[in-house]
Structure 1
């Protein structure tokens, strides 16, 4: 799995993990922004899981499904994600880590980056998988040029 998809999957997985321990017993008790946040984490988790299965070859590659799942992640990234973590919304039934608020700038940057990468993945969906392009995916770098991301293989 490439860094791009890996980062998106990791980001969605991390977001889901922020509240995962409460889903089994706390989700039914959650209300308001905490419930919205938990619901959003489930959506992110499911999209990342579906993408990961395609990139690993466990399910057939489907460019339209990649676009759909990447679009879902993009829609739940950036401001859409950070808005689900207003100051004072930690604690039970949420188990969101205090570091979200104490390292807010890093969390906000991470949420934005996840959206940019998801957008690039959606644009690259028709390119197929790296093995089908005969090349290598981008392994390192922080430069997120949308045109460059769109030219890369989806995985």
Structure 2
């Protein structure tokens, strides 16, 4: 039978104290690290249109389409900056889009983190569809004020 060599008791205790100290320091560092700042929530403010005529308006955490609206937040992860939408979009006949309140949050990445010009949202063709289609919405240019 193999015998295992035990460390002397003072050395064993010393290593345990060092390991506990390093572990507590790592935990303290994680808990006291400053949180990552959130991206500005107004970077997506404006009107967005899809190629098939769907139109949505996003303003300060509220997405409106048709007669309904839902909330969203702008977040960042390792893949980039995204809109986290608190509902889902449904396509209507004729290309318009409406909001349906849903328990799932939908994540849609922005093409540019500072001033996006394009967002791709998952859009259901009807409430009974088995899955959504990825629909690209482009930012509609804001009109310049008419100065005469």
Higher helix share: 1
The structure number with the bigger radius of gyration is 2
Normalised by the length of structure 2, the TM-score is 0.25
Flag the structure with higher strand content: 2
Higher relative contact order (CA 8 A, sep 6+): 1
Q: TM-score if structure 1 supplies the norm length?
A: 0.24
